[in-house]
Amino acid sequence: MACNTLVDITTLSPKFQELYAKAKDFVENECIPAEPLFAAQMGQGDQRWKVIPPVIEDLKKKARSLGLWNLFLGRDYAEGAGLTNLEYSLIAELTGRCPHLAPESMNCSAPDTGNMEVFAKYGNEAQKKKWLEPLLQGKIRSAFAMTEKRVASSDATNIETSIVRNGNEYVINGLKWWISGAGDPRCAVYLVMGKTDPNNKNPHRQQSIIIVPAGTPGVTVVRPMHVFGYDDAPEGHCEIVFKDVRVPLENMVLGEGRGFEIIQGRLGPGRIHHCMRSIGMAERALEYMMARVTDPSRRTFGKYLYEHGTIVADIAKSRMDIDQARFMVLNAAKRIDQVKAKGAMKEIGMAKAIVPTMLLTVLDRAMQAHGAAGISQDFPLARWYASGRTLRYADGPDEVHIAQIGKVELRRAEGIKQQFEKRDNASAKLLAQNKPKL
């Protein structure tokens, strides 16, 4: 079991402990057992993109009735459930144990969470009423259209989509891809990033975020992108063409040129939620591994699997890898509570750099212990691996986070060198005072 005395749930508020217990029960006894039914209710062929397995709505109702709803919206939001980031992180670990059902059941699934934050933080009243309200109710879903196919859009200054004001409308042209959730028949709205002022000397004032209702003429969902072999229907990660798409002026969020500011605000906590769900996924992977290696029907050459080679060591390493990573995530969450996401960039960056690789390592060991079954449709491990693999570049590739952490750390160098000099002086004085007599 996870060794987590530093963040002892029994020391948190009784109200939270009760919520936590309810969430745990809901995930373990409602969501996880529903996974086979969800799979059975998935459509075949094209229907996979049109049918939402009904069990999802059942679970949503149940979660809502239990008060397990919109928990991601923290203390800063009137609409929120009032959890701290630390508290929500603990909940997110639970939902991560059943990643395809639990987050959505509790209306806490990406990308809706980030989009709701955008509407809540930057939307005007009309926008909130039209889009935030039904999102908070779990009646519609949404997508965030930023990544572009033809440029390296992880550097947002490279974005090419144009948003041109034309009379009382904006006209949008561009080619996006990897737009998660855009394949879902319930997806009602896109938040689209583009440039309203591509020649602005300040490269961070060129971009805007604009609301485009799904189905607006000129919007074509071209195809779902595959992650390893998975298309992740019905949500999907879609390639979308915006061709002379027209929306009214009031669809602009916050104002022209404020797009960069919005995406900055959208990040931060979200990264930690991904991380914490990954911890939950890793825990469940380790459980699968332990069940397998102690399964009498999997004995070979007269031994249980766990008695072979390095498997016990792999289990120990997974235990340690998970626990270490969890501390880094909880630490970042608590830091956000103290100084907001901006002040916790280093802690967030470290969690973001550590967790995805940890998750993949733990999953890989679990898959290896299962042999061929481990990478098949009969276990969720390979699918989680595929999904976890995206986290090594989503919201910035590992390399960028690591370089950034190094740079922040190096800011200490000057102070250290001054301290060294001070100490060297003190040492010299001591030596002079104590001429060695030997």
Contacts of a copy of itself in 177-196 (CB under 8 A): 177-178
Residue 255 binding a copy of itself, by CB under 8 A: no
Q: Exactly one of 141, 176, 274, 334 binds a copy of itself (CB under 8 A); which one?
A: 334
Judged by CB under 8 A, how many residues of this single chain contact a copy of itself? 127
| Least distance in angstroms from the C-beta of 422 to a copy of itself | 8
| Least distance in angstroms from the C-beta of 402 to a copy of itself | 5
Residue 342 binding a copy of itself, by CB under 8 A: no
Q: Exactly one of 151, 164, 221, 241 binds a copy of itself (CB under 8 A); which one?
A: 151
CB closer to a copy of itself, 124 vs 300: 300
Residue 327 binding a copy of itself, by CB under 8 A: yes
Q: Exactly one of 11, 14, 44, 202 binds a copy of itself (CB under 8 A); which one?
A: 44
Q: Exactly one of 68, 143, 382, 391 binds a copy of itself (CB under 8 A); which one?
A: 382
CB closer to a copy of itself, 267 vs 290: 290
- Name the token pair of 83: 């959890």
| Least distance in angstroms from the C-beta of 309 to a copy of itself | 4
Phi, psi for residue 146 in degrees, rounded to 5: -120, -50
Which positions from 6 through 25 interact with a copy of itself, judged by CB under 8 A?
A: 6-7
Residue 66 binding a copy of itself, by CB under 8 A: no
Residue 40 binding a copy of itself, by CB under 8 A: yes
DSSP for 274-325, written as a single string: HHHHHHHHHHHHHHHHHHHHT-GGG-BTTB-GGGSTTHHHHHHHHHHHHHHH
CB closer to a copy of itself, 54 vs 255: 54
CB closer to a copy of itself, 125 vs 414: 414
Q: Exactly one of 242, 383, 388, 391 binds a copy of itself (CB under 8 A); which one?
A: 383
Q: Dihedral sign, CA of 350, 355, 356, 358?
A: positive
Query: Using CB under 8 A, which of the segments 167-175, 183-191, 207-215, 350-358 binds a copy of itself?
Result: 350-358
Which positions from 222 through 251 interact with a copy of itself, judged by CB under 8 A?
A: 225-231, 237
- Cβ neighbourhood burial of 175 (10 Å; 0-12, 13-18, 19+): middle
Query: Using CB under 8 A, which of the segments 181-189, 206-214, 266-274, 322-330 binds a copy of itself?
Result: 322-330
Q: Exactly one of 9, 50, 54, 137 binds a copy of itself (CB under 8 A); which one?
A: 54
Helix (H) or strand (E) holding 172: strand 169-180
